[in-house]
Amino acid sequence: MTNILIIYTGGTIGMINDPKTGALKPFNFSHITSNVPELKRLNYNFSVHSFNPTIDSSNVTPEIWIELAVIIEDNYQKYDGFVILHGSDTMAYSASALSFALENLSKPVVFTGAQLPIGELRTDAKENLLTALEIAAAKNENGLPMVPEVCIYFDYMLYRGNRSTKFDSEKFQAFTSTNYHSLAEAGIRLKYNEKYILPYPEKPLKVYKYFDTAVGSIKLFPGMDPRFVSGMLNTPGLRAVVMEAFGSGNASTNPEFLNVLREAINKGIIILDISQCLGGTVELGHYETSDELSSMGVLNGYDMTFEAAITKLMFVLAQNKPIDELKKMLSISLRGELTKLNGQA
């Protein structure tokens, strides 16, 4: 029989109303069937691993990502799939980070959560949980896991984790993946878009347990003072920065601003250029306003989300390889997180 491990980290999904105060409080997730009796009707087994204490997703750190990776590694042979219940605010960061930490993943790791607590009458938690479990248990016609990758299921849509971003704080449809097709849609049936799902790996799972947080981010805006950028890039210990540029990767041609970037790159700081736009890709050199960036050595982040870009930087820097090798890793797709301009993911 299929076995699924539910990993409960915290978040809205695990809240119920206190009958005395009316305030929301976490409940014991090992008693989940009392709140979701439909779980008793599933034709597979599941177990629950709860974080103690539970974590508000705003307090998630790389140490939590490593803990999740280790839990999966320790239970990899016992379970056919994993469902991670996580606060939605930083879910895309955690899903992106875990995708990099779990190389050659051959089993589903499905993140889900909710906008309303599981104890609320109109909650989205039950559907999200039940369908996430179904996805984690699904097999293809060859008996292999249907979705052997880290993904996010939310409001009837399954997305690749490192292609997802939270774009709405109120609607049940909280996540989107504008630069990559959905992996599945849930309606009367679960419809899998198999050609967009990562292939089943040939090598065994390899788990990485380090992230380097010597990274930063700069979001460009008209009128930005180059001294601010200089202050950021001269932060002691800084190794790399995600630069959220305009449109297809464009930036000001102000000589002072460009000199600040050039000096940082010459000191060995990596600058990864992504777009502020939800959709589209970076094309360095396509316009004059990005040609200078390309010439000085700013790296093309293509169509990566911010969440994928920043966690990929942390992951890659932790490999402690020569800078040329780090730059090469950043410029290729490691876990399906980017699509190059020739259309190859």
Q: pLDDT value at position 26?
A: 73
Q: pLDDT value at position 229?
A: 97
Query: pLDDT per residue over 251-277, tens digit each?
Result: 999 999 999 999 999 999 999 999 999
**β 165-166/175-176 pair status:** antiparallel
Which of these, 63, 125, 60, lies nearest to 93 by C-alpha position?
60
CB atoms within 10 A of CB 30: 12
Pairwise CA distance, residues 282 & 272, whole Å = 10
Do domains 3-207 and 215-330 share one topology? The answer is yes
Sheet of strand 45-50, all strands in order from the earlier edge strand to the far edge: 45-50, 3-8, 81-85, 109-112, 150-154, 157-160, 184-186, 190-192
Q: pLDDT value at position 261?
A: 97
Against a cut of 0.75, is the pTM above it? yes
Q: pLDDT value at position 343?
A: 47
Q: pLDDT value at position 344?
A: 46
| CATH no. of 215-330 | 3.40.50.40
Helix (H, G, I), strand (E, B) or coil at 308: helix
Domain boundaries defined on the chain = 3-207, 215-330
Pairwise CA distance, residues 279 & 178, whole Å = 5
Tell the burial category of 214 from Cβ atoms under 10 Å away from its Cβ (0-12, 13-18, 19+).
middle
Catalytic residue IDs: 12
Q: pLDDT value at position 342?
A: 60
Q: pLDDT value at position 40?
A: 81
**β 81-85/3-8 pair status:** parallel
Domain 3-207 in CATH 3.40.50.800: no
Pairwise CA distance, residues 149 & 310, whole Å = 19
Instruction: Note every long-range contact of 227-231, with CB atoms under 8 Å and residues 24 or more positions apart, other chains counting.
Output: 229/257, 229/260, 229/261, 230/260
The parts of the chain modelled with pLDDT lower than 50 are 343-344
Name the amino acid, one letter, at 151: C
Helix (H, G, I), strand (E, B) or coil at 300: strand
Query: pLDDT per residue over 77-125, tens digit each?
Result: 999 999 999 999 999 999 999 999 999 999 999 999 998 988 777 889 8
Helix (H, G, I), strand (E, B) or coil at 9: coil
